[in-house]
Amino acid sequence: MDRLIINGGVRLSGEIRIAGAKNSALPILAATLLTDDLVTVCNLPHLYDITTMLELLGCMGVQPVIDEKLNVEVDSSTISHFSAPYELVKTMRASILVLGPLLTHHGRAEVALPGGCAIGSRPVNLHISALEVMGAEIIVEDGYIKASVEGRLTGSQIFMDMVTVTGTENVMMAATLAKGKTVIENAAREPEVVDLASCLIEMGAKITGQGTDTITIEGVERLHGCTYSVMPDRIETGTYLIAAAATRGNIKVKDTRPDILDSVLSKLEQAGANIKVGPDWISLDMHGERPKSVSLRTAPYPAFPTDMQAQFTALNCIAEGTGAITETVFENRFMHVHEMNRMGASIKVEGNTVFVEGVEALNGAPVMATDLRASASLIIAGLVSEHETSVDRIYHIDRGYECIEEKLQLLGARIRRAPAELSRHERFKVDHCIDKRANTSGDAAIAFDGRHSAFGGRHNKQKAAIRNW
């Protein structure tokens, strides 16, 4: 297990390119299950979650192929299994997105209840109840969602009790091949939902209203293949802009979209940043000045995104004044606060709100990442700290940020990846595994990183190829 070593005190400066959006790429990869034709997905970020989704498709018998331009070609005509195993689903909640496509295209699906970051409850009951309204028979047993339908799903009027991005995406994909018209009310409006809808339309789906709270889908007999490029990642964009603001720097992010970041850019301007935008770029300049504290409240798009909350908490730690940050989306998304306080921050938690009193500088310390966005916030905290900061459990950040230490190095940051230091107990476990491996042959060998292979036999070559990508 790796860690990141950061020596703070450097103002970030330079230019970087933004990768494709993970939260758009994952449902688009799931959507390839809706057709037997070849689908080419471009601008995929090189992330662990993307690899996991490709492995999941491979486990079903689908054959993703990496072309010469590092685009992924997916041929779902070879699908032979309709189950998403727990070994993969437990690491990534987005695996639930294969439920709708499998059910509507093949009439059956078996998906393990999802895992992912422990930031709060994200119940799948909305997915299940919506699909049941469309005619699916669903039971939950042995930790799996087991769904089937006779013939085709039926278009229906569906009201989401709460705004859910994956719920909206799952139902939207299922509705593309359903009989008749489906109307999703209280639908998620996120740009990633719109991006998925655009991809489905390229495949022949009839969808209107994406980007509003009411989405209408007219079911069609079949979908066809297409080539589609994933939108840029707005959360990655915002993270680097905040890192530059916290370090009093000056950066330009390219291959991005300013139009989907209004709420974040507004808060950065309140913090004292000079923001300029172009068609596909954003520049930020703090002119060497210390940022000012900002207060914000998270809510579904187009309001301030919950995925940017932790990063702004880190910014407020060293800003002038006091800022209040209220989290309304996830109930357990302040786990990074305790790590920041260990670094000398002054943060108080009251219910779903944190009050952050800015200090001149933080102190480097060993800290532990607790989820994806918390990892990014701790890196930002390390960049503005005196002395050395060590961030452990960075497998979280590898799920959502492409080559984060390399991009920060391009901006001048003193950051490097290093093997984690093992405790005496951990060293004993590794030694035990080595001894066990020495007495084991074939597929039973134990992985040194603690993860067991999800595949054996015929899937090993495919898994290796995807990993190499």
Active-site pick, 42, 59, 117, 433: 117
Known catalytic residue: 117? yes
**Per-residue tokens: 304:** 């301030």
Report yes or no: 154 and 135 within 8 Å, Cβ to Cβ.
yes
* Nearby residues of 149 by Cβ (< 8 Å), 6 or more positions away: 103, 104, 107, 108, 135, 136, 137
Q: What is the 3-state secondary structure (H, E, C) of the chain?
A: CEEEEEECCCCCEEEEECCECHHHHHHHHHHHHHCCCEEEEECCCCCHHHHHHHHHHHHCCCEEEECCCCCEEEEHHHCCCCEECHHHHCCCHHHHHHHHHHHHHHCEEEEECCCCCCCCCCCCHHHHHHHHHCCCEEEEECCEEEEECCCCCECCEEECCCCCHHHHHHHHHHHCCCECEEEEECCCCCHHHHHHHHHHHHCCCEEECCCCCEEEEECCCCCCCCEEECCECHHHHHHHHHHHHHCCCEEEEECCCHHHCHHHHHHHHHCCCEEEECCCEEEEECCCCCCECCCEEECCCCCECHHHHHHHHHHHHCCECEEEEECCCCCCCCHHHHHHHHCCCEEEEECCEEEEECCCCEECCEEECCCHHHHHHHHHHHHCEECEEEEECCHHHHCCCCCHHHHHHHCCCEEEEEECCCCHHHHHHHHHHHHHHHCCCHHHCCCCCCCCCCCCHHHHHHHHHHHHC
Q: 420, 392 in Cβ contact below 8 A?
A: yes
> Catalytic residues, which ones?
117
